[in-house]
Amino acid sequence: MILADSEIISRLKSGNLVIESLNWHNVLDQIWPSSLDIRLGNTFRFYKRDSLTLIDPKEKVDERHIETVTLDENTPFILHPRQFVLWVTVEKIKVPYDLVVRCEWRSSLWRLGIIIHSTAWFIDPWFEGTITLEITNINEVPVALHPGMRIWQFAFETLLWDVINPYDKRKGSKYMNQILPEVSKIHSDI
């Protein structure tokens, strides 16, 4: 069952669901009938094409091949066609044991050709941290992305049974407590 706005607000107020950095003055601007808008942070990362010719999932990408950029709140980033970046959310989430978070695109951005997370559509119970957004421009023209803009939606679904292996305890939970956008850690799976 997906939570309605009233239950989202109730859980946020009680502390059962924790989302840091919500703008409580305008929180209703972020809450829709059955979802919560999430905003784009000011830090993103990308793989340097000029120094990296191949990514092998069995190998960790050396940090010298990854660029990290932090923008001020008034500076947009121009995402060019076919460009891929990893971007962090403003909001940090702590998911309770009885919820899973479904992550959905905002259709307004999809209509501009911006794809966010063509995979990784949900967040497990007991995950805590910011969310790394995988963003690609499939449009034929550049699109400006602004720190603080509403870019994504969370829908919260209740679980029918108790979780026996929550994210924070599960072996292989690579992204727990992330703060900055995280590059792939698939090399640790292999």
Task: Return the active site residues.
Answer: 134
Q: In this predicted model, what pLDDT tens digit does every residue of 45-59 receive, in sequence order?
A: 999 988 888 888 899
Indicate the pLDDT class of residue 190, thresholds 50, 70 and 90.
low
pLDDT of 18: 92
| 118 pLDDT higher than 60 | no
Distance separating alpha carbons of residues 85 and 116, to the nearest angstrom = 10
Q: In this predicted model, what pLDDT tens digit does every residue of 138-157 receive, in sequence order?
A: 999 999 999 999 988 999 99
| 120 pLDDT higher than 70 | no
pLDDT of 67: 93
DSSP classification of residue 112: T
Cα–Cα distance list, 22 to 13, 17, 66, 112 (Å)? 12, 12, 29, 26
Cα–Cα distance list, 75 to 71, 146, 148, 179 (Å)? 6, 7, 10, 21
Per domain, the residue ranges of the chain are: 5-188
Residue 61 sits at the vertex; the CA angle it makes with 171 and 66, to the nearest 5 degrees, is 115
Indicate the pLDDT class of residue 40, thresholds 50, 70 and 90.
very high
For 65-92, letters b (16+ CB in 10 Å) and e give bbeeeebeeeeebebeeebebbbbbbbb
Question: Which has more pLDDT, 122 or 40?
Answer: 40
pTM summary value: 0.85
The domain defined by 5-188 folds into Deoxyuridine 5'-Triphosphate Nucleotidohydrolase; Chain A (2.70.40)
**In contact, 78 and 114? CB cutoff 8 Å:** no
| 160 pLDDT higher than 70 | yes
Distance separating alpha carbons of residues 151 and 169, to the nearest angstrom = 30
DSSP classification of residue 11: H
pLDDT of 179: 79
Q: In this predicted model, what pLDDT tens digit does every residue of 64-105 receive, in sequence order?
A: 999 999 999 999 999 999 999 999 999 999 999 999 999 887
Mean pLDDT calculated for residue range 113-138: 86
Query: Which token pair is 62?
Result: 């050396």
In the chain, count of helices (H) and strands (E)?
3, 12
Indicate the pLDDT class of residue 182, thresholds 50, 70 and 90.
confident
Residue 101 sits at the vertex; the CA angle it makes with 145 and 40, to the nearest 5 degrees, is 15
